[in-house]
Copies of this chain bind each other. A is one copy, B any other.
Amino acid sequence: MSNDTEPAPRSALVDEIASQIRARIMSGEIAIGAQLRQAELANELGVSRTPIREALRQLQTSGLIEVVPNRGAVVRVPVPWEVREAYQVRAQLEGFATELAVKRISDAEIATLREANETMREATVHPPALQPGEEPPTTTANDVFHTTIHQASGNQRLARTINEINETFPRNVSWLVLRDDQRHREQNVREHERILEAIVAGDGERARREMVEHVVGAGEHLARWYERRSATVFVG
């Protein structure tokens, strides 16, 4: 996901620009609520404002930024109830993906899931020191776990839809949520293991239930983080 040495069909410049801006928002390099000035982005990315404007339109329709006419674009600041809503939806989709995956998953994919959980457990027990802005290994392993299930579901549209929801919320917030909450991290690992257990057992119904619960729980944690944040902002 980091290298694009694609000899294949020449990706459009605009899509590349959009990806870069999205990455900056996802990593927290551009904070939520921050203004996105076209001229500034154009300078930094070494292009004119035209492709920037088209890229911003893409990010607008994907819901990551908000564009107010004649006043420019800002990174959307999620409201807690929006987070809960989105994760309710995501939970259903992930649950469905898990149920589908149970019927089609390969041994290799199961091995990948085991490995991801192992990495997560390891990083949870011995949390490594991180540079600011660096992605924690738990988050990476978490992504591998979920993405593998999406793939195993065999439904590309399902994977895409889940992805669209995830890309509405900056990823670095999820890092922060996990960083200060050892108990949440441990719970995460346990839930992943229970899900994997159900998958291996071939119990689609149970796997689905566990996954739904897992995602809703994660959404609740995320929503609470945004609640605390807005409280802070209003007070201080």
Contact = CB atoms under 8 A, between A and B. Distances in A.
Interface residues of A, number: 32
Interface stretch (A87-95, A136-144, A170-178): A87-95
Interface string A152-177: 00011110010011000000000000
Nearest to A155: B85
A145 interface: no
Interface of A is mostly: helix
A61 interface: yes
Copies of this chain, how many? 2
A75 B96 CA distance: 30
A56 B31 CA distance: 28
B155 A89 contact: yes
A54 interface: yes
A91 to B, nearest CB: 9
Contacts of A62: 61
Contacts of A60: 58
B85 A92 contact: no
A50 to B, nearest CB: 8
Nearest to A87: B157
Contacts of A158: 85, 88-89
Interface string A62-77: 1000011100000000
A214 interface: no
Given A12-B69, A69-B10, A69-B12, A89 B57 contact: no
A82 interface: yes
Residue picked from A10, A92, A164, most chain B C-beta under 10 Å = A92
A14 interface: yes
B53 A89 contact: no
9 closest Cβ pairs, A-B complex: A85-B157, A12-B69, A58-B61, A54-B57, A57-B57, A92-B96, A61-B61, A86-B157, A85-B155
